[in-house]
Amino acid sequence: MYSSAKGDDVANHLTPEELSKELGLDREEVIRICIEEAVPIYQGKIDKSLFQAQLEASSASRASAA
């Protein structure tokens, strides 16, 4: 199993339900973001790191466009 540099063994691939609970978003919002930002949902799971990075990048680009 992959361990991060910090040494904590936290699951990185989560279901939309798990990810929505962790990030405080609706499940539908998580799926919408995945579709809009081309974050893959593979076998019902989403890479948490990729999702968060894409979410931050899209938020930053929207803030600079405003």
Digit-by-digit pLDDT tens for the chain (66 residues) are 454 455 556 679 999 999 999 999 999 999 999 999 999 999 999 999 999 999 999 888 878 887
How far apart CA 24 and CA 17 sit, in angstroms, is 10
Q: Which pLDDT score is estimated for 57?
A: 92
d(CA 21, CA 18): 5
Length of the chain: 66
| Residues paired with 14 in a beta bridge | 46
pLDDT at residue 5, as a whole number:
52
On whether the pTM is more than 0.85, the answer is no
CB 48 within 8 A of CB 54: no
